[in-house]
Amino acid sequence: MMVKLGLVLAALLSGASASPHHARSTHVLHRRDAPPSGFVNSGAAPDDHVINLKLALVQSDVSGLEQKVYALSTPGNAEYGQHLSKEEVEELVVPSSESVSAVNDWLASHNLTSQVSSPAGDVRSVNLTVKQANALLDASYSTFTNQKTGSTTIRTLSYSIPADLRPHINVAYPTTQFPPTSVSSQSLLASSSRINDNIARALLDSCATSFTPACALELYSIPTNVPFQSDSRLGIAGFSDQSAGAADLKAFLEKYRPDVPDSTTFTSELVAGGVNNQSNPGVEGNLDTQWSVGLIGQTVPVVFVAVGDDDGDDFFSQLPAIINAFLNDTNPPQVLSMSYSLPDSFIDQATASSICNGFAQLAARGISVLAASGDYGVDGGEDPTQCHEFQVEFPASCPYVTAVGGTISQGPEVAWNSSGSGFSSYFPVPSYQAADVAAFLKTLPANYSTGHFNASNRAFPDLSARADFVEIVEGESQTGTGTSSSTPIVASIFALLNAELIAAGKSPLGFLNPFIYANKDAFTDIVAGANPGCNSEGFNATQGWDAISGVGTPIYTKLRTAAGL
Ligand SMILES: *[C@@H]1O[C@H](CO)[C@@H](O)[C@H](O)[C@H]1NC(C)=O
Ligand SMILES: *[C@@H]1O[C@H](CO)[C@@H](O)[C@H](O)[C@H]1NC(C)=O
Ligand SMILES: *[C@@H]1O[C@H](CO)[C@@H](O)[C@H](O)[C@H]1NC(C)=O
Ligand SMILES: *[C@@H]1O[C@H](CO)[C@@H](O)[C@H](O)[C@H]1NC(C)=O
Ligand SMILES: *[C@@H]1O[C@H](CO)[C@@H](O)[C@H](O)[C@H]1NC(C)=O
Ligand SMILES: *[C@@H]1O[C@H](CO)[C@@H](O)[C@H](O)[C@H]1NC(C)=O
Ligand SMILES: *[C@@H]1O[C@H](CO)[C@@H](O)[C@H](O)[C@H]1NC(C)=O
Ligand SMILES: *[C@@H]1O[C@H](CO)[C@@H](O)[C@H](O)[C@H]1NC(C)=O
């Protein structure tokens, strides 16, 4: 009601007043009734607190970008493998000069200036005080306290732009997006909270209770004799102050890959003020680098990309930071492994779309992005007896990302009962999986989706790999459980395939999903296991694609043939 009244008043004023300063009606870009559960409003934010506000402008040709992505990534298409250059992608997403001047004029009327903050200029950033931001966005920035961690974050429950700018601006952040701060986030780290398998671990040193690189090489038929290929590179994302230890990697290689020189290591790239602190390696950083270098040995250079908080202290600011770093590179790694996720309920549709669009741009560049499907089953870490609506992890649920679920060993692999999975809240089902998802939906009890999930949307994971009793060296040897380990395993397999393709003069695989769904027989179908939660059975692993194990686990030798090698 308040908003409607405000709009009417603004319209009246614009008719009555000669002053251009009152002439604009506003459009609410996003509003939420309350912060997400777990946050309390601790009062108005200090007027002089400085916010680095990002404005995502409307891009020139989003549907052109999406069409290109599918043409380039779909086996059999005439354009398959013809990935775009940095400049070609930028041409599709650059905002119109009209949009740029409309936005800059608006900012100037508030005595503000903006700076380009993405390679194509479709994101602009403005430093402004809370007082200025409240005036600019008709917002009410407040300090919200995360009750679990005690950390505070400054956000607003609603924000608006002048209605005539609606055709030019998609989203502004930080506004109504409520991620827990990365440093204190438990759910962001897929593996660390579940690193206690040691206790349950049997003395028996077999692949069932001690999953080593040797086990993975055997299980997925991964070759160890692919020649060094400097042009195939694997990027490992490091968020949340996770550093990767070179000394721990050396110890890991000595123990588990004695055939690989223990001097084999990774390089670091620092993005947005990131650090790779050798005095303070983290479980996730170690796991990801040990399981990539541990599988690909010296064949493919591994780049650890440490993302800092110059662009914002939360995951949903740091994702665009790493995307932009890759987009701004004329020759980035062709595979990016990301063992991190948060529920998509922390962000609104416009924010999710804006970040997912960044992944579409990476797809157009020929980059395969692998993302962990999450470690909390369908309840996403909520009380499994209380929740009804299944939680959805992001970025795994973005259709331009390849989501990796987890399996455990019980003789043959079965789906892990905590594997994150389900249906996006925001993105419609993409064509590459539509038939498989429809077939899976038929296996569900009648009306099973009602209130649990949106059955017309993008479903994940796309594939899976081993997630339990995974060895890692963190000072000493231990094992971990989580899709955090499944993700670098799968990423390493595709980086090796790229090395072989590049050596054969062919294009790297790029965005993988159309290839994966077109070659389901190159995977071991996982047909047992389920992830019960939210007072439900969750999802069953079934014959064919299912919403817990995807198409199954990779078989390198068959993928090789599918890739035309
Ligand atoms: C912008 O700056 C001018 C000159 O300093 C001042 O008169 C005006 O009130 C400012 N406008 C806003 C919106 O702050
Ligand atoms: C892109 O890289 C160039 C240097 O190569 C740098 O000057 C520019 O600031 C970067 N742009 C973004 C948006 O990061
Ligand atoms: C905002 O401030 C940061 C330093 O805190 C600076 O690096 C950046 O260039 C500023 N951006 C703009 C748009 O002025
Ligand atoms: C690296 O970690 C050590 C140990 O936690 C800490 O004392 C040091 O300040 C850190 N350095 C940086 C640059 O973050
Ligand atoms: C998942 O499996 C473990 C044993 O592997 C069991 O302890 C746990 O209760 C199961 N969780 C659910 C939600 O069924
Ligand atoms: C399901 O998602 C689609 C977008 O793909 C949306 O249009 C529709 O409203 C959603 N349905 C429900 C019941 O939320
Ligand atoms: C899971 O499989 C069991 C056994 O076949 C079946 O009874 C149940 O309905 C299935 N549940 C779902 C959610 O698919
Ligand atoms: C399923 O839903 C439809 C309408 O949405 C309803 O007509 C039907 O009775 C429901 N079936 C069951 C078994 O609940």
- Relative to the alpha carbon of 376, which ligand is closest? 5
Least confident of 37-51, 169-183, 266-280, 440-454: 169-183
**Which amino acid type is present at position 217?**
L
Give residue 417 CA to ligand 5 midpoint distance, Å. 6
Shortest-distance Cα residue to atom 5 of ligand 5: 417
- Confirm whether residue 525 is marked as ligand binding: yes
Give residue 448 CA to ligand 8 midpoint distance, Å. 10
Pairing assessment for the beta strands 342-343 and 393-394 based on DSSP bridges = antiparallel
Residue 553's alpha-carbon distances to 150, 399, 407, 472, 559, in angstroms, are: 40, 19, 8, 21, 11
**Which amino acid type is present at position 314?**
D
DSSP 98-157: HHHHHHHHHHHTTT---EE-STTS-EEEEEEEHHHHHHHTT---EEEEETTT--EEEE-S
pLDDT class of 22 with cuts at 50, 70, 90: low
pLDDT class of 9 with cuts at 50, 70, 90: very low
Amino acid 193: pLDDT: 35
Of the residues 90, 288, 436, 471, only one is catalytic, namely 288
Residue 117 alpha carbon, nearest atom of ligand 2: 13
Segments of 294-438 assigned E as strands: 302-307, 335-338, 342-343, 368-372, 393-394, 402-409, 413-415, 422-428
- Confirm whether residue 526 is marked as ligand binding: yes
- Verify whether ligand 2 is closer than 6 Å to residue 328 (CB atom): yes
Of the residues 284, 311, 379, 468, only one is catalytic, namely 284
- Closest of 234, 176, 127 to residue 29, by C-alpha: 176
- Is 288 annotated in the active site? yes
- Relative to the alpha carbon of 124, which ligand is closest? 3
Pairing assessment for the beta strands 142-146 and 115-116 based on DSSP bridges = unpaired
**Radius of gyration over every alpha carbon of the chain, rounded to an integer in angstroms:** 24
Over the stretch 394-403, which tens digit does the pLDDT of each residue have?
A: 999 999 999 9
Enumerate residues lining ligand 6, CB below 6 A. Answer: 428, 454, 456-457
Amino acid 201: pLDDT: 42
| pLDDT above 80 (res 530) | yes
Shortest-distance Cα residue to atom 5 of ligand 7: 540
pLDDT class of 353 with cuts at 50, 70, 90: very high
Whole-angstrom Cα distance, residue 417 to residue 419? 6
- What's the mean pLDDT when you consider all of the chain? 91
Give residue 144 CA to ligand 7 midpoint distance, Å. 42
Shortest-distance Cα residue to atom 13 of ligand 5: 532
Q: What is the chain's percent helix, strand, coil content, to nearest 5?
A: 30, 25, 45
- Mean pLDDT score, 301-307: 98
Over the stretch 213-264, which tens digit does the pLDDT of each residue have?
A: 999 999 999 999 999 999 999 999 999 889 999 999 999 999 999 999 999 9
Give residue 397 CA to ligand 6 midpoint distance, Å. 14
Structure-token match 């796991």, residue found: 287
Residue 150's alpha-carbon distances to 42, 143, 146, 153, in angstroms, are: 11, 12, 5, 10
- Mean pLDDT score, 110-123: 97
Token pair, residue 205, equals 């040193």
Shortest-distance Cα residue to atom 13 of ligand 4: 277
Which of 441, 447, 452, 456 most suits a substitution to test ligand 8, by most atoms within 8 Å of the C-beta?
A: 447
| pLDDT above 70 (res 276) | yes
- Verify whether ligand 2 is closer than 6 Å to residue 324 (CB atom): yes
DSSP SS3 for 49? coil
Q: How far is CA 197 from the centre of its chain?
A: 26
Shortest-distance Cα residue to atom 4 of ligand 5: 417
DSSP SS3 for 471? strand
Give residue 240 CA to ligand 4 midpoint distance, Å. 14
- Mean pLDDT score, 91-97: 98
- Closest of 203, 380, 197 to residue 287, by C-alpha: 197
101 CB neighbour count, 10 Å cutoff: 12
Enumerate residues lining ligand 5, CB below 6 A. Answer: 417, 532
Least confident of 162-176, 196-210, 261-275: 196-210
In order of their start, the domains of the chain are 10-59+94-173 (no CATH), 203-562 (3.40.50.200)
DSSP SS3 for 405? strand
- Relative to the alpha carbon of 323, which ligand is closest? 2
b/e burial code for range 318-341 (CB count within 10 A of at least 16 → b): bbbbbbbbbbeeeebbbbbbbbbb
Amino acid 185: pLDDT: 31
Shortest-distance Cα residue to atom 5 of ligand 6: 428
Least confident of 367-371, 378-382, 514-518: 378-382
Whole-angstrom Cα distance, residue 541 to residue 548? 6
Amino acid 14: pLDDT: 34
| pLDDT above 70 (res 8) | no
pTM of whole model > 0.85?
yes
Token pair, residue 539, equals 């999802």
* The CA-based dihedral angle spanning residues 446, 452, 457, 458, taken in that order and rounded to the nearest 10 degrees: -110
- The long-range contacts involving 106-114, CB below 8 angstroms and separated by at least 24 positions, are 106/161, 106/162, 106/165, 107/136, 109/21, 110/135, 110/136, 112/136, 114/55
Give residue 400 CA to ligand 3 midpoint distance, Å. 31
Q: What are phi and psi of 458, to 5 degrees?
A: -50, 130
Query: How large a percentage of the chain has pLDDT more than 90?
Result: 82
Give residue 477 CA to ligand 5 midpoint distance, Å. 24
| pLDDT above 80 (res 3) | no
124 within 8 A of 117, measured Cβ to Cβ? yes
Give residue 136 CA to ligand 3 midpoint distance, Å. 18
User: Cis bond leading into 395, ω under 30°?
Assistant: yes
Of the residues 292, 484, 536, 549, only one is catalytic, namely 484
Residue 442's alpha-carbon distances to 68, 524, 527, 546, 548, in angstroms, are: 32, 21, 16, 11, 15
| pLDDT above 70 (res 362) | yes
Amino acid 241: pLDDT: 85
52 within 8 A of 125, measured Cβ to Cβ? yes
Token pair, residue 338, equals 């990301």
3-state secondary structure 164-219: HHCCCEEEEECCCCCCCCCCCCCCCECCHHHCCHHHHCCCCCCCCCCECHHHHHHH
Over the stretch 174-221, which tens digit does the pLDDT of each residue have?
A: 999 987 644 333 334 444 333 344 434 443 458 998 999 999 999 999
Whole-angstrom Cα distance, residue 477 to residue 255? 9
Residue 463's alpha-carbon distances to 112, 222, 375, in angstroms, are: 47, 16, 15
Residue 132 alpha carbon, nearest atom of ligand 1: 14
Least confident of 246-250, 306-310, 372-376, 473-477: 473-477
Token pair, residue 14, equals 């614009």
Token pair, residue 236, equals 């490992």
| pLDDT above 90 (res 447) | yes
- Verify whether ligand 8 is closer than 6 Å to residue 447 (CB atom): yes
Shortest-distance Cα residue to atom 13 of ligand 6: 454
Burial class (CB in 10 A: 0-12, 13-18, 19+), 205: exposed
Amino acid 149: pLDDT: 83
Amino acid 23: pLDDT: 58
Whole-angstrom Cα distance, residue 464 to residue 374? 12
Which of 389, 431, 457, 458 most suits a substitution to test ligand 6, by most atoms within 8 Å of the C-beta?
A: 457
Enumerate residues lining ligand 4, CB below 6 A. Answer: 275, 277, 279-280
Amino acid 197: pLDDT: 43
pLDDT class of 151 with cuts at 50, 70, 90: confident
- Mean pLDDT score, 45-72: 97
